[in-house]
Amino acid sequence: MKSSYIKFLILSICISPIFHQTAIAQVTSTPVKDTTITLKVAGITCSGDLPIIVKRVKEEKGIVDCSATSKAAAVTIFQVKYTPAIITYDQIVKAVQDAPGCDYPNERPYKVRKKH
């Protein structure tokens, strides 16, 4: 009985690293794809607001690119390319809404319209 237990223990120790390496290979081999979203942002009053929002969003880790795809208007459209494994949609919205206003830097005038 004692001999069987020792054999089992030795076998378990020898095989364990093989399974561990296989598990690591499976986790690291899954590529993370970037995602592009469209944000509709309200509260923009002039073209000076656009680079402020773009800069603020690009400061976040996980943002690949951000650009305004329309002119400054009551609602302006932005395209944001990001890595979902690093940053979430809600964090991107927070970054936009935390951007300082162009005319009044102490205010946070920008609001992202809810996605449907």
Q: Give tens-digit pLDDT for 36-72.
A: 999 999 999 999 999 999 999 999 999 999 999 999 9
Q: Are residues 25 and 40 in the same domain?
A: no
Q: Are residues 53 and 108 in the same domain?
A: yes
Q: Are residues 47 and 99 in the same domain?
A: yes
User: What is the residue-wise DSSP string for 74-100?
Assistant: SEEEEEEEE-TTT--HHHHHHHHHTSP
CA distance 44 to 54: 12
Q: Which residues pair with 76 in a beta bridge?
A: 41
Question: pLDDT digit string (tens) for 58-108?
Answer: 999 999 999 999 999 999 999 999 999 999 999 999 999 999 998 888 999
Give the alpha-carbon dihedral of 84, 89, 95, 101, to 10 degrees: 140
The reported pTM is 0.71
User: Can you give the residue range of the structural domain that contains 65?
Assistant: 35-112
Sheet holding 35-42, edge to edge: 63-68, 75-82, 35-42, 111-112
Q: Are residues 23 and 67 in the same domain?
A: no
Q: Are residues 44 and 81 in the same domain?
A: yes
Classified as helix, coil or strand, 70 is: coil
Q: Are residues 88 and 41 in the same domain?
A: yes
